[in-house]
Amino acid sequence: MKNQWIVVGVAVIGFSLSAFGAAAQDPGPQGAGAAEAAKANAPHSYNPIKWVKKSPDTTTAQPDAKSDLNKKLTSKLQMQGLLPANADLRDTCSPIRGLDECVAALHVGHNLGLDFNCLRSNMTGVHSSTDISSCKATSDKALSLSNAIHALRPDANSKAEAKNAEKQAHNDMKGSRS
């Protein structure tokens, strides 16, 4: 009797696995609506790594998320001569995606003597209300820091300058957090 149950169990498992394997090999709907039909029938994600919620990255967080960091970094950059005395880092960096990118752009502007508003408009692709008519080249597309440097000063080593500015920004951010 016990052997019969084992045989029946193995048969049920084998049958269900073969049916599942055949269904997995089905190519699905064909034609123009195949992508929509596949999306409608597919679960959210098969990748278990996407199931885990990731904590937000603090290096790309906007300065208003950390008002204490904003105050410390604003005063530090004002002492270095990167920000005017009446400027606030939150207002200066609002169009730029990440705080670290904005501080690096401030360093590049200071190191190379470039107008920060020109750098900001090239990095974001957004032309703000500030006067950018003095800029040599402005782009409607968002550029990386090194490409924005190259657009404004083609004779400079844009990759090295961007890397140097990113290192300076990292040191500023690191010093303001502690």
Torsion (CA) 167, 169, 175, 178 in degrees, nearest 10: -110
Secondary element (H or E) of residue 93: helix 89-93
pTM, to two decimals: 0.59
CA distance 25 to 153: 56
- Per-residue confidence of the chain (178 residues) as pLDDT tens digits? 778 889 888 888 887 877 666 555 555 555 555 555 555 555 566 776 777 766 555 455 454 445 777 888 888 888 888 888 888 888 888 888 888 898 999 999 999 998 888 888 888 887 766 666 667 766 678 888 999 899 888 999 999 999 999 999 999 888 776 5
- How does DSSP assign 111-127, residue by residue? HHT--HHHHHHHHHS--
Supply angle C-alpha 64, 69, 74, rounded to 5. Answer: 90
CA distance 138 to 162: 18
Q: Characterise 31 by phi-psi region: left (phi > 0), alpha (psi -120 to 50), beta (else).
A: left
CA 82 to chain centre: 24
Q: In this structure, is the dihedral angle defined by the CA atoms of residues 110, 103, 73 and 169, taken in order, positive or negative? A: negative
Q: Show contacts of 81-84: CB within 8 Å, 24+ apart.
A: 81/110, 82/106, 82/107, 82/109, 82/110
Please enumerate in sequence order all residues whose Cβ is within 8 A of that of 165, keeping only pairs 6 or more positions apart, or say none.
104, 105, 107, 108, 111, 145
Q: Which residue has the tokens 């752009």?
A: 105
